[in-house]
Structure 1
């Protein structure tokens, strides 16, 4: 279905944002409803399959002979290959086709989730570890294809409400993160290792069938624009650093938070998943609000990015807490900090896509699926970089220094990115204020000279 001329979609060569806003129908079209259902189902299913590892897999891998550093690498390799996949799929989205990329990625993700359910049958040691890496790599490629296509399709279908739609759909991302860990922990405790993965893999494959039937196709002309031109824009580079910082914080928690909770508070595996609930639930609830704020008041996006990073940095200092604070570690404090961290993560994450997209348009990138693919691929790739570094650094620091110091060091990432982003926006605002002042001064000087000449 060619939507390049549809005013509700806002294809390239169309009217400006104000004209498109007037033309956009108040009611959702059938295709828009189907797109929302498809994206919501993908977010929910994929995040459940992704987050199910947290409560019990690190302990299983430990029993299979994997060190904490190796467990961190198993979690981190997923993000590394999702990064590579996002760059490739973002560049060639138009050539491959958004719908095919979306469905193929989901099919791969569901299939390898089922395969992960039989990994416990493998021999301990190198064979088990090598197969974990292989399955996670294939899963990452599939997930990278699905998320890149999904973000592009959503932005194409809702050009005037990008942050609101993405923020609202983060409810399903958060719901998957909320349901995944406790469901996985309970299924693991009740039925063993295989059942959580096989059941969730089957759910993802059912979602694939749903999307084959209902997801509309989008077509667009290829573009000569490059990732390099987009990534080297100063504002985009800083936002990329923000994405890396925040995603590294999420990735940091995946392999080691459950190990810390098990050793510190002696909770059973079924209850460890409930600890993750604080982070996921607060992120789920806050994301639609920050999406609405980003669309209705775009000038607030920069401060959401800045303060979201600074609050995240403070949360990681208190997560252990850091030994220099001399605060006793308690379960209620840990859950409270995770709740606040979920809100601050929503502040950081939701404004990034519309900020990068608006920056691309301001610097001459044409409207259309090609630019959306580049922006979607770039943001997904930068998220993956952090999600790769977070588990790797987290596993290493946890092994060498313990959870308290590891979390405090991890908090330096969002602290630096928040301060850098704030400095950039302050300089940008000062330049904008100075331009009209210099123009007025020039006009006054010219008027004075004219009077003197007269």
Structure 2
């Protein structure tokens, strides 16, 4: 594995700045077509259900390929992508950030071909709706594949470079990713108003094409030939605590995507216009982006579990407030929703930011491993749980919200109950491990790898000393027997 001392503080800062910009553009790409694509798709003859399936292709690809890419990252150094009749190759998965971004860029830049074709210098809508649907599904799915490759490569490199400050680095990157996700619809709507359907894709796609070579030059090559990703993945999957953390990511992401896809319907009862309703969503994004940085910095010092437990509990409070406590027959009010959304944004930072660092810490201290294969597998499991939540949240939430007996208030309450169940499981495990298990864990997840490594070195030295003493005693016994 690459040695940390090879990278100076200045080099790490440049790498972090570049990757934060990449994450911002990544968020913009994901949410860029949200304000105008459904309208154009309906005009092309697609139903709302088919549009939902198109948007679902992205997290489906992310769910399928995240664990695969996390295990193939170590063993495969040549990746070939066939996109837009071009073959893109790379000699290292650490340089894959450029190729995975470029694969999304090429599809994004040519996305207008899905919908339109050129007839006498005039862009017309595609008349065959089935061709439009199939191509849109393929493009969105391949974009998800590129996102999976990019996410694994970037986050595993960040864990290697900032092993003692994983939460701080992830908090900073997630904040920029959330910023991109928040401003993506605004950028998409603005360029769509200026130049039509193709302009947003050309502008953002061209920006990423320019950034791609820069990222490929800046991101270092990090390899570990001795890593065994398959064994690391099996060990992580079998661990119950890792499952609890992944389930927490799934529940939080499901609740988040449920709110994103159904809150506008709920706000109709408050007689808010579309622009004001969309602006309210910025509250959640701002709370998450702001608290993500703060939680990352503080959790590296005070411990990750404290913030995870607080994040689960605050999420329950936020979801119950957004639902206005229907079991108490309280009349829904706008300030209930605003307060609940703010609390939920803070809780999302408390859950999403420390989880990766806590998984790495727990794997290190429980003999799962502390190498590049563990980092990539941890990132793969996190992305898989997150993408599964992106699939189930809108599907389950929209289904329950459409029922007249439930609607948004009771659905939000149900998600709050599931989150509270996750909080109880997490608290029970932590209490059991603290008071019942025969294991001292005074560090409580601070990620101080230098102390852990020193302890391990002492243990290895003691083992070697004991083996030497045992060999000397055996030699003495043999000599005594020969003399007799």
TM-score (norm 2): 0.77
The structure 2 residue matched to 1:375, chosen from 373, 378, 388, is: 378
CA gap 1:208/1:127 in 2 versus in 1, 3 angstroms: same
Aligned to 2:101: 106
Aligned to 1:131: 135
User: How far apart are the structure 1 equivalents of 2:112 and 2:279?
Assistant: 22
Aligned to 2:71: 91
Indicate conservation of the 8 Å contact 1:55/1:272, yes or no: no
Matched, 1:418 2:423: yes
Q: Write out per-residue CA displacement over residues 348-370 of structure 1, whole angstroms, 9 at most, x where no aligned residue.
A: 11110011101111222333222
Q: Write out per-residue CA displacement over residues 386-428 of structure 1, whole angstroms, 9 at most, x where no aligned residue.
A: 1121122233333344333333333333222122111111111
Q: Write out per-residue CA displacement over residues 186-236 of structure 1, whole angstroms, 9 at most, x where no aligned residue.
A: 444554443333322222222213212322212211423242221211110
User: How far apart are the structure 2 equivalents of 1:217 and 1:425?
Assistant: 37
Unpaired stretches in structure 1, ≥5 consecutive residues = 10-26, 437-454
User: How far apart are the structure 1 equivalents of 2:335 and 2:134?
Assistant: 38
User: How far apart are the structure 2 equivalents of 1:41 and 1:324?
Assistant: 45
User: How far apart are the structure 1 equivalents of 2:420 and 2:52?
Assistant: 23
User: How far apart are the structure 2 equivalents of 1:246 and 1:294?
Assistant: 19
| Matching of residues 50-449 of structure 1 within 5 Å | 50-61=30-41, 64=44, 66-95=46-75, 96=77, 97-117=92-112, 119-120=114-115, 121-123=125-127, 126-224=130-228, 225-258=231-264, 260-261=266-267, 265=271, 267-268=273-274, 271-298=276-303, 301-321=304-324, 323-329=326-332, 333-401=336-404, 402-432=407-437
Aligned to 1:33: 13
Indicate conservation of the 8 Å contact 1:53/1:181, yes or no: yes
> How many correspondences in the alignment?
413
How far does residue 67 in structure 1 lie from its aligned partner after superposition? 4.8
CA gap 1:8/1:159 in 2 versus in 1, 3 angstroms: farther
Pick the structure with greater CA Rg: 2
User: How far apart are the structure 2 equivalents of 1:57 and 1:406?
Assistant: 27
Indicate conservation of the 8 Å contact 2:232/2:374, yes or no: no
User: How far apart are the structure 2 equivalents of 1:175 and 1:99?
Assistant: 25
Unpaired stretches in structure 2, ≥5 consecutive residues = 78-91, 116-124, 442-484
User: How far apart are the structure 2 equivalents of 1:119 and 1:275?
Assistant: 32
SS of 2:402 mapped into structure 1: helix
After superposing the two structures, state which structure 1 stretch, 405-414 or 336-345, moved more.
405-414
After superposing the two structures, state which structure 1 stretch, 142-151 or 310-319, moved more.
310-319
Q: Write out per-residue CA displacement over residues 296-321 of structure 1, whole angstroms, 9 at most, x where no aligned residue.
A: 112xx223212212222332233244
Indicate conservation of the 8 Å contact 1:244/1:385, yes or no: yes
CA gap 1:366/1:70 in 2 versus in 1, 3 angstroms: same
User: How far apart are the structure 1 equivalents of 2:100 and 2:269?
Assistant: 37
How far does residue 133 in structure 1 lie from its aligned partner after superposition? 2.1
Higher RCO (Cα < 8 Å, 6 or more apart): 1
User: How far apart are the structure 2 equivalents of 1:414 and 1:56?
Assistant: 33
How far does residue 6 in structure 1 lie from its aligned partner after superposition? 4.1
Indicate conservation of the 8 Å contact 1:72/1:255, yes or no: no
Q: Superposition RMSD on alpha carbons, in Å? A: 2.9
Q: Write out per-residue CA displacement over residues 37-81 of structure 1, whole angstroms, 9 at most, x where no aligned residue.
A: 231022100001112344444455455555554444333332121
